[in-house]
């Protein structure tokens, strides 16, 4: 009878260790997804701002339109996200 009780405790211990490993793996995986999402979002923002700056600079020589008008949609998105406290660096 003594052996079966100790065998149960060993099984419970093994299950606890396996659960701890699986939970730690899931948490690490989730943290990686969050980190890469923030990195990718930052990269997209920089691309938008670079495009808006390029268009505004190239339209600077045009007399027909205001160069700021071309860049305003992209820049306004960035400033509203920054003021609303969007996650990640701006």
Instruction: Yes or no: say if 86 and 38 are a contact pair by the CB < 8 Å rule.
Output: no
3-class DSSP state of 86: coil
Whole-model pTM above 0.85? no
The reported pLDDT for the residue numbered 16 is 87
Contacts of 47 (CB under 8 A, 6+ apart): none
pLDDT > 50? residue 1: no
DSSP assignment letter at 63:
S
3-class DSSP state of 66: coil
Q: How confident is the model at residue 7 (pLDDT cuts 50, 70, 90)?
A: low
3-class DSSP state of 16: helix
The whole-chain average pLDDT of the chain stands at: 77
């Amino acid at each position: 009878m003594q052996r079966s009780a100790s065998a149960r405790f060993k099984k419970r211990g093994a299950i606890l260790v396996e659960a701890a490993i699986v939970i730690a793996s899931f948490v690490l995986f989730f943290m990686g997804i969050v980190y890469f999402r923030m990195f990718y979002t930052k990269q997209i923002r920089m691309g938008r701002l670079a495009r808006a700056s390029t268009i505004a600079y190239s339209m600077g020589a045009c007399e027909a339109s205001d160069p700021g008008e071309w860049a305003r949609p992209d820049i306004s998105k960035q400033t509203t996200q920054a003021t609303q406290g969007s996650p990640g660096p701006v």
